[in-house]
Amino acid sequence: MLLHIDVVDGDTFTRDEDGLEFMSLDEACATVVALLPELAREAVHGPRRRAAMLRERERIIAAEIRDPAGAVLFRTRLRLDMEWSAPQR
């Protein structure tokens, strides 16, 4: 089953033009859910991205699975909330 996984990281949208083959929608959903923490780790560990992320109060990383016709079959989101007790300099 050919499915496409599109990713949104903050204000960056990455559209999957090629797609991936999965045995089932359940397998694709499990893959996408496992992908989100990896994407968050990349967001935190890149020096430019980390500095940009810490200026925000919230960061949402999301992924959706769509079929070749473009119908969205599944969505998942990971939200990071950042709160400081004192004003940032």
Name which of 29, 44, 71, 86 is nearest 10 in CA terms. Answer: 44
Q: Which residues pair with 58 in a beta bridge?
A: 81
Q: Which residues pair with 65 in a beta bridge?
A: 5, 74
Question: Is the confidence at residue 86, as pLDDT, over 80?
Answer: no
Query: Mind listing the pLDDT tens digit for each residue in 5-39?
Result: 999 988 889 999 999 999 999 999 999 999 999 98
Cα-based distances in Å from 36 to 78, 86, 87: 7, 30, 30
Q: What is the pTM of this model?
A: 0.79
